[in-house]
């Protein structure tokens, strides 16, 4: 068979051709062109000989044995609780033992394909070690104290679009109250967890660089790129939570310690400036992106997700030209290749349903399951009306969104009565149904709508030709929500972009950061806000950043504390 292996990004274009050639191989060996056979074209990208030999093996088995009888036997075993992950590979080995002596004699070249296939399988097992290690990094990210809840609470509850319904003492409520102290961070694991992930990411990177794990050069590059991107995201979160916005003083203030190598348990790097933090984050991502795959890998980041992150980081870094180019190029590329696209108006509300995961505009989302989730501490359960009903949309946000009743996003709000007040809860993370909250919602970290809005924000700040394109990107979001609406050039201002970011990205952890980095004042008055809250917040309010936890000073007594907080 002619060698027709293509890079992952070209697979979509050639998928039908590859599939037909492999089917023809199966049919030729089996001698029966009526048997259905579905080849694994995704696997063909990195394990060509394995896929080819699978077609030969299956074809030979269909020729010499009763394939249907084996299939029924396996289905019966699985029905009676046999482990599918172990049973199917074992069946594959038995099939190989049954047919290889026949087919090797009959078809020249089969022996070589078989040997190469087993070589690929051995290499894949070695790659799996690194793959599992990278999966472990994502698992650490998914905890309640990080992207399973707290990172969303922190970005939304400290803004003006979402609020607590009562003083529960939970993390979401503490963020809403700005109840942060060095002795009690009240912000999940936002100090310790990102550092722990970074340290583990360096272990993966070093193992790859030092040749301690084996695998194809391409796959190891991709895994390294993923680990570097996760590391950059964690360093970014530390910088924006513990350091003042770069735009306040061009990054002159203290940020987070930079972990630029695999540190030992007793090694405690000093705090860096926000400017130095961003230099490290940006250079890490710029190195990582060319290493990464462009193929979709649900619940894992690919090059598109990393580029979306970098467009966001450029905005925070006030590098609007680069933010615009990164976002605009990404949008045009996926429009051209069809890898991702914005949800249509009709798709928009159903896209948030519990079972509709990894949608057309989801670049990266944290995957949860029925047996691996944040439980009652999860974002979804805290929001749901029949869960803890602890998080509502503010009256300010509700009034702004419902001012256009034809905006499709209005359907993501539902009115209920709480303490004799009409309140509105957000249905972006719904349960199994309207009355049953769920633990296992996936949480979207990067989606294409944000990339459009990143380009729109950068464009209005740059002006000129970038503003012309930026306005088109803004209107793509506005008119998806309501086709009758359009933002004119005269109306295209930073405030209008921030308004659209508020409407589109509520519940996704952006509003507090969007307002702060743009030098805006967050105003939380009226409606059903709880009494005694901080009503106005800007980047001069000391609790707009978190304190360094007291425990850190045991190991780093000379580390600088953020202004307004004590070390103990």
CB 133 within 8 A of CB 201: no
Q: How far is CA 355 from the centre of its chain?
A: 17
Lowest model confidence (mean pLDDT) among 127-136, 179-188, 505-514: 127-136
CA distances from 77 to 24, 70, 72, 292 (A): 31, 11, 9, 39
Q: Which residues contact 11 (CB under 8 A, 6 or more apart)?
A: 18, 41, 42, 44, 45, 295
18/545: higher pLDDT = 545
Lowest model confidence (mean pLDDT) among 43-47, 121-125, 247-251, 306-310: 121-125
Q: Hey, what are 5's tokens?
A: 């292996």
CB 256 within 8 A of CB 243: yes
Digit-coded pLDDT (tens) for 250-306: 999 999 999 999 988 778 999 999 999 999 999 999 999 999 999 998 999 999 999
* pTM of full prediction above 0.85: no
Closest of 472, 438, 476, 494 to residue 348, by C-alpha = 476
Lowest model confidence (mean pLDDT) among 87-101, 249-263, 318-332, 526-540: 87-101
Q: Which residues contact 274 (CB under 8 A, 6 or more apart)?
A: 239, 243, 244, 245, 246, 251, 252, 253, 254, 255
Closest of 135, 134, 103 to residue 117, by C-alpha = 103
Q: Hey, what are 280's tokens?
A: 């490290």
Which of the four pLDDT bands, split at 50, 70 and 90, describes residue 3? very low
Count of beta carbons in the 10 Å neighbourhood of residue 78: 13
Closest of 120, 84, 107, 139 to residue 25, by C-alpha = 107
DSSP 8-state class, residue 270: P
């Amino acid at each position: 068979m002619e060698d027709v292996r293509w890079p992952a990004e070209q697979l979509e274009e050639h998928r039908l051709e590859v599939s037909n050639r492999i089917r023809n191989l199966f049919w030729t060996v089996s001698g029966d062109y009526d048997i259905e056979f579905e080849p694994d074209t995704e696997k063909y990208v990195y394990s060509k000989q394995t896929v080819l030999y699978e077609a030969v093996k299956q074809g030979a088995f269909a020729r010499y044995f009763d394939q249907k009888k084996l299939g029924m036997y396996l289905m019966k075993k699985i029905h009676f609780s046999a482990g599918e992950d172990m049973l199917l590979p074992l069946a594959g080995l038995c099939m190989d033992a049954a047919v290889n002596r026949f087919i090797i004699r009959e078809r020249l070249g089969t022996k070589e394909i078989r040997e190469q296939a087993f070589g690929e399988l051995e290499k894949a097992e070695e790659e799996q070690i690194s793959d599992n290690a990278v999966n472990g990094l994502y698992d650490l990210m998914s905890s309640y104290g990080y992207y399973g809840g707290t990172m969303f609470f922190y970005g939304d509850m400290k803004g003006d679009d979402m609020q607590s319904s009562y003083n529960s003492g939970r993390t979401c409520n503490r963020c809403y109250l700005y109840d942060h102290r060095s002795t009690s961070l009240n912000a999940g694991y936002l100090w310790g967890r990102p550092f722990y992930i970074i340290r583990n990411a360096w272990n993966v990177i070093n193992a790859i660089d030092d040749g301690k794990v084996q695998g194809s050069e391409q796959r190891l590059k991709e895994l390294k790129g993923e680990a570097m991107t996760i590391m950059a995201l964690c360093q970014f979160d530390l910088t924006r939570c513990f350091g003042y916005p770069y735009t306040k003083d061009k990054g002159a203030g203290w940020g987070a310690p930079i972990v630029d190598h695999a540190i030992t348990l007793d090694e405690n790097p000093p705090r860096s400036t926000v400017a130095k933090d961003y230099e490290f984050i940006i250079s890490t991502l710029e190195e990582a992106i060319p290493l990464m795959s462009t193929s979709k890998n649900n619940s894992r980041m690919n090059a598109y997700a990393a580029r979306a992150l970098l467009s966001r980081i450029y905005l925070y870094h006030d590098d609007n030209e680069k933010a615009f180019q990164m976002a605009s190029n990404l949008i045009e590329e996926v429009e051209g290749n069809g890898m991702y696209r914005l949800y249509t108006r009709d798709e928009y509300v159903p896209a948030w349903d519990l079972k509709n995961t990894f949608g057309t505009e989801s670049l990266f989302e944290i995957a949860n399951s029925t047996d691996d989730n944040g439980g009652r501490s999860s974002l979804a359960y805290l929001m749901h009306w029949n869960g803890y009903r602890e998080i509502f949309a503010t009256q300010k946000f509700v009034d702004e969104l419902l001012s256009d009743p034809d905006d499709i996003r209005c359907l993501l709000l539902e009115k209920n009565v709480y303490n004799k007040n009409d309140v509105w809860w957000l249905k972006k993370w719904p349960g199994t149904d309207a009355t049953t909250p769920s633990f296992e919602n996936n949480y979207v970290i990067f989606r294409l709508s944000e990339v459009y809005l990143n380009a729109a924000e950068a464009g209005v700040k740059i002006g000129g030709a970038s503003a012309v394109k930026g306005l088109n990107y803004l209107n793509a979001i506005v008119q998806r929500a309501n086709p009758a609406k359009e933002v004119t050039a005269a109306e295209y201002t930073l405030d209008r972009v921030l308004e659209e970011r508020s409407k589109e990205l509520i519940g996704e952890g952006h509003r507090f950061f969007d307002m702060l980095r743009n030098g805006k004042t967050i105003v939380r008055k009226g409606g059903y806000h709880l009494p005694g809250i901080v009503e106005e917040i800007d980047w001069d309010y000391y609790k707009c950043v978190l304190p360094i936890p007291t425990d850190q000073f045991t190991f780093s007594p000379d580390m600088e504390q953020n202004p307004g907080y004590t070390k103990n």
